[in-house]
Structure 1
Amino acid sequence: MDQLPWVLLGIRAAPKADLEASSAQLVYGTSLVLPGEFWPASTSEPSRRSATELESALRHLLPVPTQFHGTTHSHVPRTLQSTDFVFVRRDRKPHPLVSPYEGPFKVVRRDEKYFTLLVRGKEERVSLDRLKPAFVNNPP
């Protein structure tokens, strides 16, 4: 717990390679003042004991590089590739007591990111992110 403020300071002050800025620069518009910058060059240095303690505490903290900001990973059920019928998530906000999915609809063709479904007698391409497998006993 004693090291948590230093960890948070390091996270906020560390520049992110993909953003080309630190978190503090994005929030405050400027860099954070780090502990070594508190003492101007004209004044005496802090006591040797506190500098040694600070150095030993900071030596154990290593920055963790960040990557892949803004990417989202969608969950695609494994059974989606083998099912014959699927439910389609509605894009609009559902009213209370209304199912968020429509269907089931028959799968006509499977592509890498889209399924072609038979919806009300017409073929429609629907993204995998909106699909959920349907297990139907008696197909419509």
Structure 2
Amino acid sequence: MDVGLSSAEFFYGTTLRIPGEFVLPDDFRPNLQIFLEEFREHMRSMKSVPVGHHGNKRAFLHKDLNSCSHVFVRVGPGKKSLERPYTGPHKVVMRTSDRVFGIEVNGSSRQVSVENLKPAYFLRNDIVNLATTNSKEKTATNVVPVQ
């Protein structure tokens, strides 16, 4: 059943007034043609806002990545909860470009994007141990970059 009243009229007991109705006389009738012309002119003068590129993320590249001899390789998205996030250290065989490195993994060469790499740091005596014993994974607490 429609009683012809808005919810504001039910709640407040009167119709709502917009701010222009507070200062304009009750018998004021705006000219719609002038309003439309001014509105169109205003809309033409507005400048569009440049679109932000939120999806373009640049990967963080460590500054020592271009000079290190060994790197750690990130494990993919299928990593289990207690699995290490990186494997290695792996020897850098060649730098094919500034975005792709050739590394040695289990005796074979593999191409890896630099976004999945981070430089490995060793103590000086760990470098000798790594080269002579081919140990799987070593980490050190006191580290120096390998040149």
TM category (shorter chain) comes to: 0.5 to 0.7
Q: Please name the residue that 1:12 is paired with.
A: none
Is the CA contact (8 Å cut-off) linking 1:85 and 1:136 kept in structure 2? no
CA distance in structure 1 between the partners assigned to 2:63 and 2:45 by the alignment: 42
Gap regions ≥5 residues in structure 1: 1-44
Cα distance change on mapping 1:119 and 1:46 into 2, 3 Å: same
Equivalent position to 1:97, from 82, 85, 88: 82
Q: Which moved more, 1:79-88 or 1:130-139?
A: 130-139
- Stretches (4+) displaced over 6 A: 67-70
Q: Please name the residue that 1:81 is paired with.
A: 66
CA distance in structure 2 between the partners assigned to 1:114 and 1:121 by the alignment: 19
Identity of aligned residues (%): 32
CA distance in structure 1 between the partners assigned to 2:122 and 2:55 by the alignment: 37
Q: Deviations over 1:12-53 (max 9, x none)?
A: xxxxxxxxxxxxxxxxxxxxxxxxxxxxxxxxx835246525
Structure 1 residue 97: deviation in Å?
2.2
CA distance in structure 2 between the partners assigned to 1:95 and 1:69 by the alignment: 29
Q: Structure 2 matches for 1:1-140, cutoff 5 A? A: 46=32, 48-49=34-35, 51-52=37-38, 55-56=41-42, 58-59=43-44, 61-64=46-49, 73-112=58-97, 113-137=99-123, 138-139=126-127, 140=130
Letter in 1 for 2:92: V
Structure 1 residue 115: deviation in Å?
1.1
The TM-score, its normalising length taken from structure 1, stands at: 0.53
Larger Rg: 2
Gap regions ≥5 residues in structure 2: 1-30, 131-147
Cα distance change on mapping 1:111 and 1:61 into 2, 3 Å: same
Cα distance change on mapping 1:110 and 1:53 into 2, 3 Å: same
CA distance in structure 1 between the partners assigned to 2:41 and 2:60 by the alignment: 44
- Tell me the secondary structure at the aligned position of residue 96 of structure 1: coil
Letter in 1 for 2:106: R
CA distance in structure 2 between the partners assigned to 1:77 and 1:60 by the alignment: 46
The TM-score, its normalising length taken from structure 2, stands at: 0.51
Count how many residue pairs are aligned between Structure 1 and Structure 2.
95
- Tell me the secondary structure at the aligned position of residue 129 of structure 1: helix
Cα distance change on mapping 1:50 and 1:87 into 2, 3 Å: same
Structure 1 residue 126: deviation in Å?
1.4
